[in-house]
């Protein structure tokens, strides 16, 4: 009887841990990566524009100064964008909603393309965003002007070396080779190496344990301060299992340390680079720390990956400090 009770308790607890732990649904969907990174790239580009509007003489290649005049306002709204994913079908992959305190970007699993064309999400966000600010102008043209300004700022060396990733030029999309299990394993190992390389560059600051020099947002900084050592070990040692199942998402794992990560050759069709794979590994590894929240796992992966690009999502300290505040009381000329 005693044995039975113990066995029963074990089965009951382990099955409930599995039910809670496995995060199914669309969690490890590569499109989340594309959208989260695109948001970072876009906000970063807007912060570059603020910088350009401060210190650069852009007249030679910027006859249209509308965008630059609005740089600060655009940046303030851009940095308030929040991402949400829904299972509902909607008219477009991205629907943007301006609210009093933020901008909600709602993406739809049912409506966003998979595989994703290169730079699809950057352009989708930019097009929707500019349409709100310049309803009378062709969004594609505004986007082109935007790129021209950033390109010009770069050419005049008035942006920092680390700012060169503003808006990537469109590139031809190449289909992935994540289709057979042998290829898949070597692609995953390349992704792991990539993730390890980035993680190894993240070191505590002099005051012991904080990572503020990387401009992580507060909750993610706290998480890394608490968990970075274990996180590194986890990425080094965790097991990847590849299957051909037509699962709900590209990858899945459970919320316990040491849990394997499952990848589907049917669903991971959007892996284009080892950075893509690294992002998914970082996302799933975050779940191993008992974290269910998809948005938080996306945030950890994205903020870590942003280090590799040498860019900071938020403005550098050459900007007015009031840029950090969201109360709108600050003007562009404040220093
Ligand atoms: Zn997830």
Q: How far is the CA of 30 from the centre of ligand 1 (A)?
A: 10
Judge whether residue 95 has pLDDT over 70. Answer: yes
User: Cα separation of 213 and 190, whole Å?
Assistant: 27
Give the pLDDT confidence score for residue 272 in this predicted structure. Answer: 80
Give the pLDDT confidence score for residue 317 in this predicted structure. Answer: 36
Directed axis angle between helix 139-155 and helix 120-133, to 10°?
110
Q: How far is the CA of 40 from the centre of ligand 1 (A)?
A: 19
Q: What is the pTM of this model?
A: 0.76
Q: How far is the CA of 207 from the centre of ligand 1 (A)?
A: 32
Q: How far is the CA of 92 from the centre of ligand 1 (A)?
A: 23
Average pLDDT over residues 211-221: 83
Give the pLDDT confidence score for residue 134 in this predicted structure. Answer: 92
Q: How far is the CA of 282 from the centre of ligand 1 (A)?
A: 10
Q: Are 326 and 76 in contact (CB under 8 A)?
A: yes
Q: How far is the CA of 20 from the centre of ligand 1 (A)?
A: 13
Q: How far is the CA of 27 from the centre of ligand 1 (A)?
A: 4
Average pLDDT over residues 144-150: 84
Average pLDDT over residues 195-207: 86
Tokens 């503003």, residue? 166
Give the pLDDT confidence score for residue 17 in this predicted structure. Answer: 33
Overall size of the chain counted in residues: 335
Q: How far is the CA of 266 from the centre of ligand 1 (A)?
A: 18
Q: How far is the CA of 187 from the centre of ligand 1 (A)?
A: 20
The confidence band for 20, taking pLDDT boundaries of 50, 70 and 90, is very low
Q: What is the pLDDT of residues 238-294, one digit of tens each?
A: 999 999 998 888 999 999 999 999 999 988 888 888 888 999 999 999 999 999 999
Domains of the chain: 30-172 (no CATH), 174-308 (3.40.390)
Q: Are 290 and 254 in contact (CB under 8 A)?
A: no
Higher-pLDDT residue of 311 and 7 is 311
The chain-wide mean pLDDT, for the chain, equals 78
């Amino acid at each position: 009887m005693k044995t039975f009770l113990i066995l029963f308790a074990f089965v009951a607890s382990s099955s409930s841990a599995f039910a809670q732990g496995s995060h199914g649904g669309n969690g490890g969907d590569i499109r989340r990566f594309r959208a989260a990174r695109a948001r970072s790239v876009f906000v970063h580009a807007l912060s570059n524009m603020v910088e350009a509007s401060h210190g650069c003489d852009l007249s030679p290649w910027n006859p249209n100064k509308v965008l630059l005049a609005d740089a600060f306002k655009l940046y303030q709204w851009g940095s308030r964008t929040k991402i949400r994913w829904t299972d509902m079908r909607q008219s477009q992959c991205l629907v943007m909603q301006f609210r009093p305190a933020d901008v909600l970007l709602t993406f739809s699993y049912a409506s966003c393309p998979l595989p994703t064309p290169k730079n699809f999400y950057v352009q989708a966000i930019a097009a929707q965003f500019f349409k709100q600010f310049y309803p009378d102008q062709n969004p594609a043209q505004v986007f082109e002007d935007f790129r021209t300004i950033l390109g010009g700022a770069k050419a005049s060396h008035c942006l920092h070396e680390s700012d060169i990733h503003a808006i990537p030029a469109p590139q031809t999309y190449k289909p992935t080779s994540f289709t057979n299990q042998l290829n898949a394993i070597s692609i995953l190992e390349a992704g792991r190496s990539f993730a390890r390389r980035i993680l190894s560059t993240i070191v505590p600051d002099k005051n012991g344990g904080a990572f503020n020099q990387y401009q992580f947002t507060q909750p993610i900084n706290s998480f890394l301060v608490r968990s970075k050592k274990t996180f590194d070990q986890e990425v080094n040692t965790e097991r990847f299992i590849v299957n051909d199942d037509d699962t709900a998402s590209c990858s899945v794992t459970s919320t316990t340390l040491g849990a394997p990560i499952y990848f589907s050759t049917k669903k991971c069709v959007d892996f284009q680079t080892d950075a893509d794979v690294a992002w998914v590994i970082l996302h799933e590894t975050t779940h191993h720390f008992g974290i269910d929240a998809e948005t938080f796992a996306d945030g950890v992966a994205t903020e870590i990956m942003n280090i590799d690009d040498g860019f900071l999502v938020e403005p550098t300290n050459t900007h007015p400090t009031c840029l950090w505040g969201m109360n709108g009381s600050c003007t562009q000329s404040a220093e």
